[in-house]
Chains A and B, each alone.
Chain A
Amino acid sequence: MSATTAPQLPDGLVAIVKRDCATCVMVDPILADISASVGLAVYSQDDPTFPESMASVTDDTDLAVSWHHDIETVPTLIRVIDGAETERIVGWSREQWQAFTGMDSLGSELPEMRPGCGSLSVDPNLVDELTVRFTGSTLQSRRIELASLEDEFEAAFDRGWTDGLPVVPPTEARVLRMLEGTTRAADEIVCPIPPDLVDVTVEQIAVNAVMAGCKPEYFPVVLAAVEAACSNEFNMHGLLATTFWSGPVIVVNGPIAQRIGMNAEHNVFGQGNRANMTIGRALQLVVRNLGGGRPGEVDMSMQGSPGKLSFCFPEREHDSPFESLATERGLEPGTDAVTLFAGQGPSPIVDQISRTPESLTRSFAEVLKASNHTKLVIGIDAMLVVSPEHGRIFAEAGWDKARLRSELEKLLLLDSDGLIRGAGGIEEGVPESLAGTQLPKFRPGGLLIAYAGGDAGLFSSVITGWVGGEMGSDPVTKAITR
């Protein structure tokens, strides 16, 4: 199936009008003058008996001509030569209409100028229906007709399409609107989605983004997040299947975060912001519905985490003392990007007393040491998210992110004797063969540092990760393209 094609306009002058427009009614008598003098084809959007001055009017009440020829204002006057439009004017301007028609005294009794009215083909109440009517047939997805007595929200639950919260019904109009958020073709294959590894298209991801509640302007972020999550390095399959609590955490960098209204400040990891809540949810619905990854099936997380509904936040870049995560990971400053991190929920670092970077870094290290277990090292990554009030202490002392990381690495080099199995009366720990040495808490590259949060609160947080690197998941940064 393909989209409907644009109806051909006749050569000569063409006018598009509607009765429900005072300017169109005003020019009604002179349309007949033009027709008699130089020829004119008139299309009426709402009433084929209008304009009354014309002997013949073409019915465009289905708006096919108006929609395909991008009419935004009525009246519109178009010149067509050899089947192609060469110029157009909109509204009423006596001078313009006289020049356009070559009729020197045209409309001399009318006011000099009057703006036109909105075309019905761009009426907000009609535009979705028209988009479906004229382009909907290009969508490849299977149509599912819900019975008239079936509640559309309950129908999505019944069919197993939701994460436990209601989803927005993915109608053709909504999916077409979502697809306007990207320049990528609807039928482009994006990537195979684990665990089933089915190749999916931009359109299929758009269906799930609609269900998650995304706006079209979020869609490029969703696409980048899906591609990053489904890369071999990120290992979404393993992250889904693990008995761990973790899921994909999406950190957004670049001007797009502000442009689409994301929240990087108070309650940054929490509820209340549509973009934060729905972008991560869209990724999870893609994995569930297209990848086939459902809790209790391939998703074998023992306790899970509320973050597996959506865990997506932007870095607070406008006053950050640190270079952004995406810049640090190799992208040009100002690039829109997502970084995917396999993480659990945030856990707190409370330090309301430290006023020096040395003391505060020690506090960070103490909490980082405890992530997962004080006696387990190297295997599991973490992301430290520094708050503005803590960040200011580093900024005022002239510490950048590299300095903070290097000081943390020194503090997180631990004597293995205290970590081995049985030490401290705790059977858990590293194998005895590692006794008598020093071990880092995190593998090289296994500690990420970001900056986010509200203005007030001398707290930061640790997002504990999952198995890092080759053995599990590597963080993946990907530029967002429109």
Chain B
Amino acid sequence: MTTVLDPTARKTAASIEQVARPSSLDGLTVGLLDISKPRGDVFLSRLEERLTDHGATVARFKKPTFAKPAPVDLRHEIATSCDAVIEALAD
């Protein structure tokens, strides 16, 4: 029998409770986060039109670079000023 040492890190998964899904977008503020990938703004502008048609107020946000996680201040601003958020993640 061979005994080896565990090469992985022991960690506990953080558990985050999801907020309840809104039943309607009417009167809600929806944040759109652009991660700064080329043409992400095209996709988000189309979403903005559709969301506005549904009665939502849209707030636009942008990460300084797609290559790093969103800064803490930006995440805080989105969390405190929006009811929902949509992130355009891919190219």
Contacts and interface: CB of A to CB of B under 8 A. Distances in A.
A145 B3 contact: yes
Interface residues of B, number: 17
Contacts of A141: 5-6
Contacts of B11: 196, 198, 292
B51 to A, nearest CB: 27
A152 B2 contact: yes
The DSSP consensus for interface residues of chain A is: mixed
A77 interface: no
Contacts of A181: none
B72 to A, nearest CB: 13
B68 A171 contact: no
Interface in B24-68: 64-65, 67-68
Contact of A207 (B5, B10, B65, B67): B5
Contacts of B65: 238, 467, 470-472
A146 B9 contact: no
B22 to A, nearest CB: 30
B20 interface: no
Interface in A138-152: 139, 141-148, 152
- Say which size band chain A's interface belongs to: 35 or more
A284 interface: no
B67 A473 contact: yes
Interface string A163-205: 0000001111001000000000000000001001010100010
B4 interface: yes
Nearest to B38: A428
A435 B64 CA distance: 24
A308 interface: no
Nearest to A243: B91
A41 to B, nearest CB: 36
B4 A289 contact: no
A289 B10 contact: no
Contacts of A290: 7-9
Contact of B9 (A144, A196, A470): A196
A245 to B, nearest CB: 14
B4 A292 contact: no
Given A144-B3, A145-B3, A146-B3, A289 B8 contact: yes
A177 B70 CA distance: 41
A242 interface: yes
A208 interface: yes
Nearest to A469: B65
A467 B3 CA distance: 43
B16 interface: no
A289 B11 CA distance: 12
Given A143-B6, A198-B9, A471-B67, 17 more contacts: A143-B4, A143-B5, A146-B1, A156-B4, A171-B5, A172-B3, A175-B5, A193-B9, A207-B5, A207-B7, A237-B69, A239-B67, A242-B67, A290-B9, A470-B64, A472-B65, A472-B68
Interface of A: 139, 141-148, 152, 155-156, 161, 169-172, 175, 193, 196, 198, 200, 204, 207-208, 211, 235, 237-239, 242-243, 285, 289-292, 466-467, 470-473
26 contacts: A142-B6, A146-B1, A146-B2, A146-B4, A147-B1, A148-B1, A152-B2, A161-B8, A171-B2, A171-B4, A172-B3, A196-B9, A204-B7, A204-B9, A207-B5, A208-B7, A235-B67, A235-B68, A237-B68, A243-B91, A290-B8, A292-B9, A467-B67, A471-B65, A472-B65, A473-B67
Of all A-B residue pairs in the complex, the 5 with the closest CB atoms, nearest first, are A141-B5, A238-B67, A142-B6, A472-B67, A198-B9
